[in-house]
Amino acid sequence: MILLDGKLVSEDLKKSIADQAAIFLKENERKPHLAAILVGNDGGSETYVASKVKNCEKVGFESTLIRFDTSVSEIELLNEIRIINERTDIDGLIVQLPLPAHINPDLVTETIDYRKDVDGFHPVNLGRMQRNLPCFLPATPFGILLMLEYYKINTSGMNCVVIGRSNIVGSPISILMARNANPGNCTVTLAHSKTKNIKELTLNADIIIAAIGKKNFLSADMVKNGSIIIDVGINREESSESRSGYKLFGDVDFEQVSKKAAFITPVPGGVGLMTIVGLLKNTLSAARKEIYS
């Protein structure tokens, strides 16, 4: 079994991003700049945003964190997004999800200028992705592709089962794995909560991408020997054993499945770290105006 090591890969790719950020600074007399909006103080969201800001600093980007109380109105939030859309010194904008129930996340996503949509959630970017045109890829699927590329895994002709059909992970990665590219060229099955007999599908899969949000969902009896396992799940459980007060688990029973897999990502230390790399790469592309002028 080969561990698809998100720590190793992300550190390596971030070095190259930092080199490119230094060149950008020299040529433009400013750093690539990411703005992040955080509404409320959900523990998970705080951790993700803090990590994004820290990683921006690490690679030589500027970052701006804009915080709102949970009581912020939809109009106020949309106005802030419109202000950032107009700012020429900000290259990328993300709004951390989930948002409070009174705010429509689709409206928020569609209000972000697609040229600054470095999370890759805007319909323009998703539509261009589907047509295999240059775009900002959604950060987590992008991170998965970068991981497969780094380990030179040729996925052509493989049966790929994606479990979970969210707009941010499952659905886009299923499109990307099916497109005529490498990584890609897979025969993809997209499974979800209404899928009958998932085990029958996963037992026939060469590559399984689990994005469900259920600890240890994928068990060893569901995978064939020599398969490639990508675990996107991040499930938090309170734990007195760790300093942070919680422990993270994936959607895959790592201990047992790793005995059968050819390649597998751990949680933590896998896809989560690659998501940040996807975001940083998109931000650099936005600053350089590589996709949209």
Residues identified as active-site: 52, 96, 119
How far is CA 154 from each of CA 184, 227, 262, rounded to the nearest angstrom?
Answer: 8, 13, 13
Residue 165 within binding range of ligand NAP, rule CB under 6 A: yes
Q: Which is nearer to ligand NAP, 21 or 273 (CB)?
A: 273
Amino acid at 152: K
Residue 168 within binding range of ligand NAP, rule CB under 6 A: yes
Per CB under 6 A, which region of 15-23, 60-68, 157-165, 222-230 contacts ligand NAP?
A: 157-165
Per CB under 6 A, which region of 63-71, 145-153, 159-167, 238-246 contacts ligand NAP?
A: 159-167
How far is CA 240 from each of CA 15, 47, 245, 249, 267, rounded to the nearest angstrom?
Answer: 35, 18, 6, 15, 19
Among residues 29, 84, 34, 41, which one has the least CA distance to residue 56?
A: 34
237-264 b/e with 16+ CB inside 10 Å = b?
A: eeeeeeeeebebbbbbbbeebbebbebb
Helical packing angle, 170-178 and 139-150, nearest 10°:
40
Residue 275 within binding range of ligand NAP, rule CB under 6 A: yes
Question: Shortest gap between Cβ of 193 and ligand NAP (angstroms)?
Answer: 3
Question: Shortest gap between Cβ of 153 and ligand NAP (angstroms)?
Answer: 18
Kind and range of the H or E run holding 8: helix 6-28
Residues 182-241 that bind ligand NAP (CB under 6 A): 191-195, 198, 211-214, 232-235
β-strands 33-39, 92-95 pairing? parallel
Question: Shortest gap between Cβ of 286 and ligand NAP (angstroms)?
Answer: 20
Q: Of these, 118, 271, 279, 284, which contacts ligand NAP (CB under 6 A)?
A: 271
Residue 164 within binding range of ligand NAP, rule CB under 6 A: yes
Q: Strand, coil or helix: what is 14? A: helix
Question: Shortest gap between Cβ of 250 and ligand NAP (angstroms)?
Answer: 8
Binding site for ligand NAP (CB under 6 A): 140, 163-166, 168-170, 191-195, 198, 211-214, 232-235, 271-272, 275
